Amino acid sequence: MVSGLHTSINIHLCYEYLFPAATCYGKEQWGSNLEEFQRRFDHSQTDGHGPQWLKNLYFTYLVELRALAKAAPYFEEEGFFTGDSEEDADVKHGVEDLLKVIK
């Protein structure tokens, strides 16, 4: 599970990567960094560990989805209070939609 969460963080860091000013014509820029992703997960650059780390990410998501499915009855009865009644209804609807997909 920890490896899967670590992998998720690494993927997010590669997707929203801050390129330094030296590589972006004098100004920092955010963007996806495929080279960094490959450095962290490519089979040949990680001594064969990269694909296993990605599998651990999928396992972590499956465990999370299973936990949400088990907790679904509680979430379906729960009220959500954001301070805005329209947003409360949107959150409730979003949670209901997510639980339908999971079940």
Torsion of CA 76, 79, 81, 86, to 10 degrees: 70
Task: For residue range 43-82, list pLDDT tens digits in order.
Answer: 999 999 999 999 999 999 999 999 999 999 999 999 999 9
Residue 80 token pair: 């959500």
Per-residue pLDDT averaged across 8-26, rounded? Answer: 86
Question: Full-prediction pTM beyond 0.75?
Answer: no
CA dist 19 to 37, 38, 43, 88, 94, Å? 14, 16, 24, 38, 35
- Residue among 7, 16, 23, 102 nearest 63 (CA): 102
